[in-house]
Amino acid sequence: MAREVALAAQTALAHLEHSLALAAADREQAQQVRVERDAERASLRGRTRELATALERLTDSVHRDEVARAEQRLRIEALQQRALEDLGVEPEMLVADYGPDLLVPPSPPAPGDVIDPSAPEPVPAPFVRTEQEKRMRSAERALALLGRVNPLALEEFQALEERHKFLVEQLEDLKATRRDLLDIVREVDERVEQVFRAAFEDTAREFEGVFARLFPGGEGRLVLTEPGDMLTTGIEVEARPPGKKIKRLSLLSGGERSLTAVALLVAIFRARPSPFYVMDEVEAALDDINLGRLLTIMEELREASQLIVVTHQKRTMEIADALYGVSMRGDGVTSVIGQRLREAEPA
């Protein structure tokens, strides 16, 4: 009996396992079907969203087109009304006379434009909207540059014209004055050049003689740095003492430079005499021989002029007509002392 129950139980278990296998296969098939249905449903939802977006786009486009048509209609009505009010022309007549199917006449030349005679004459051209819009913008810019109409333009133009005439006359006067001044400057330059040239030639001639007397056997002369331009030229002193080859003053000794300067000073005195001369210790660096030569020239100068010489040299004081000195007393107060050495010769 128990064996039969066990056999029955095994049989029931086998049937149960077979049923479970069939149920599992059905469940897998159902899950696959569900996945396919979910994918199909997601695809349908995406397609629905795309169609909804396209519908919204089309709706917006239709709305914009309707708004644009309404605006265009209002603009056309406004232009028709403006044509009637400003020009007094019916729209049909305006289109018939100036429609896009007609040739566009060329713009006439503006006042002041330079016309090339060799250029072909402009002829009417077909209507091209972009070109005509470009012409319109150019004309609007030109009109804007003109600005508003000024009712006082004629009066302002007359005032400016009178002002311009006055300024032109003043300019001509200034030009004439400038020419006169340039002529005067030219004459002054010529006169200065003549006077300077004559003074230089006389001074150079006297310098050669005085230098030869102060430096026996030597040679000295004055040279222009720019002989071609007497107004800007400089003067160089060339000095060659006896027994030397040098000519530059910077290479001479202190006494030689001093004596050369005295020679130039005396040459100027002789070239352009003066009633009196003032010299301050010009012989301080000279030895006895050169001092004697200089005193000889001073004797010659005082025959026609009066010499005032500041000196500490005894020999120079000996040839003077009068001496003036400054002395300090014991109390520190200075006093001027004068002494005439010889009587002045009667004139």
Cα separation values, 22 from 17, 19, 50, Å: 9, 5, 42
Q: Report pLDDT for 31.
A: 87
Strands 306-310 and 276-280, sheet pairing: parallel
Count CB-CB contacts under 10 A for residue 266. 25
Q: What is the DSSP letter of 125?
A: B
| Spatial separation of the C-alpha atoms in residues 87 and 128, rounded to whole Å | 24
**DSSP secondary structure string for all residues of 56-75:** HHHHHHHHHHHHHHHHHHHH
Total residues found in the chain within this entry: 347
3 state DSSP class of 119: coil
Helices within 83-105 (DSSP H only): 91-98
- What pLDDT does 113 receive? 65
C-alpha span between 89 and 82 (Å, rounded): 9
H or E element in which residue 178 lies: helix 153-214
Strands (E), the chain: 219-224, 235-240, 276-280, 306-310, 322-328, 334-340
pTM: 0.47
Mean pLDDT by 10 residues, the chain (347 residues): 76 81 84 86 88 88 88 85 79 77 75 69 80 84 78 86 94 93 91 88 86 83 84 84 75 78 83 84 79 82 83 84 81 80 58
What domains can you pick out in the chain, each with its CATH number?
274-347 (3.40.50.300)
Q: What's the CA gap between 290 and 298, in Å, rounded?
A: 12
**CB–CB of 132/104 below 8 Å?**
yes
Longest dimension (CA), the chain: 199
